[in-house]
């Protein structure tokens, strides 16, 4: 099946009325801060202990995916099939999380990715509601370390979500709390699973990354420094008019 290509950041603006959405739902790891890299390092170390290579290609599949599901994907990449009892799965996931939390314990507001603070300010100035839709149970801790805990109207509690990304539940939960419809929301993600989740929630999907992994996004920038409120709203407006 031929996929529609994402609108790339350099597409430029178009004259005409801009439709303003009601809310923007941000992913956390890889969008607000580069904790995606710390997840990778922690999984790679656990993989090495188990004799499984966790390379960057496998890591792309882990982005946005819950801790236990990530572990299952890593075990599925073992050279020989492995059967691991539930209790051992929990122990391995806890070992990875201990490493991950030790890596993130020293992050500071300096670790907020470029362009994010001004984007949050500009969106807020335009009257939009802001939320975090992360799969991470560590999200409240990360937001606190970044001194961003008060910057969002709502933070989805990953522990309460029954079906993780690519299921839309995370994004629908945020829209529900903010009392807005899917069509009135923009989601911003760095993972393929997250982009799918946003689109299945009926929202406009902004991707951060490459066309190789995020081809499905409705609007794509190579990194957060290219995120700009007016460009995003312009692209959203064109999407609304097309759909």
In the chain, DSSP assigns E strands to 7-8, 23-26, 129-132, 154-155, 185-189, 204-208, 219-221
Residues that bind ligand B16 in the complex, under the rule CB under 6 A:
27-30, 36, 39, 62-67, 70, 97, 134-138, 158, 191
Least distance (Å) from Mg ion to the CB of residue 28?
7
Is residue 27 part of the annotated active site? The answer reads yes
Q: Can you name the residues that pair with 112 across neighbouring β-strands?
A: 33
Is residue 218 part of the annotated active site? The answer reads no
Q: Which residue is nearest to Mg ion (CB)?
A: 30
The edge-to-edge listing of strands for the beta sheet with 204-208 is 7-8, 219-221, 204-208, 185-189, 23-26, 129-132, 154-155
Kindly tell me which of 7 and 29 has the beta carbon lying closer to ligand B16: 29
Please tell me whether residue 29 binds Mg ion under the rule CB under 5 A: yes
Binding mask 48-87 for Mg ion (x = CB under 5 A): ----------------x-----------------------
User: Is 193:63 a contact under the CB 8 Å cutoff?
Assistant: yes
Give the largest CA-CA distance in the chain.
59
Binding mask 167-196 for Mg ion (x = CB under 5 A): -----------------------xx-----
Residue of 21, 30, 47, 168 that binds Mg ion (CB under 5 A):
30
Q: Can you name the residues that pair with 204 across neighbouring β-strands?
A: 186
Residue 238: name its binding partner from ligand B16, Mg ion, none (Cβ under 5 to 8 Å by kind): none
Residue 209: name its binding partner from Mg ion, ligand B16, none (Cβ under 5 to 8 Å by kind): none
Least distance (Å) from Mg ion to the CB of residue 63?
5
Write the DSSP symbol of residue 238. Answer: H
Q: How far is CA 230 from CA 16, 142, 200, 237, in A?
A: 13, 28, 24, 10
Which of 29, 190, 218, 231 is labelled catalytic?
A: 29
Containing 99, the helix (H) or strand (E) segment is: helix 86-104
Task: Give me the residues that bind Mg ion (CB under 5 A), please.
Answer: 27, 29-30, 64, 190-191
**Active centre residues (catalytic):** 27, 29
């Amino acid at each position: 099946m031929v996929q529609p290509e994402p609108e790339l950041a350099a597409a430029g603006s178009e004259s005409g009325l801009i439709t303003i959405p009601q809310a923007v739902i941000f992913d956390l790891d890889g969008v607000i801060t580069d904790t995606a890299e710390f997840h990778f390092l922690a999984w790679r170390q656990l993989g090495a202990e188990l004799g499984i290579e966790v390379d960057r290609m496998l890591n792309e599949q882990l982005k946005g995916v819950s801790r236990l599901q990530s572990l299952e994907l890593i075990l599925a990449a073992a050279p020989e099939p492995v059967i691991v009892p539930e209790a051992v799965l929990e122990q391995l996931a806890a070992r990875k999380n201990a490493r991950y939390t030790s890596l993130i314990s020293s992050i500071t507001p300096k670790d907020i990715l470029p362009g994010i603070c001004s984007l949050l300010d500009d969106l807020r100035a335009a009257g939009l509601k802001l939320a975090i839709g992360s799969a991470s149970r560590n999200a409240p801790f990360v937001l606190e370390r970044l001194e961003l805990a008060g910057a969002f109207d709502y933070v989805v509690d990953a522990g309460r979500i029954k079906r993780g990304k690519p299921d839309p539940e995370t994004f629908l939960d945020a829209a529900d709390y903010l009392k807005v419809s899917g069509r009135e929301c923009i989601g911003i993600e760095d993972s393929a699973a997250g982009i799918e989740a946003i689109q299945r929630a009926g929202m406009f999907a902004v991707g951060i990354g490459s066309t190789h992994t995020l081809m499905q996004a409705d609007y794509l920038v190579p990194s957060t420094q290219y995120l700009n409120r007016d460009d995003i709203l312009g692209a959203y407006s064109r999407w609304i008019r097309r759909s």
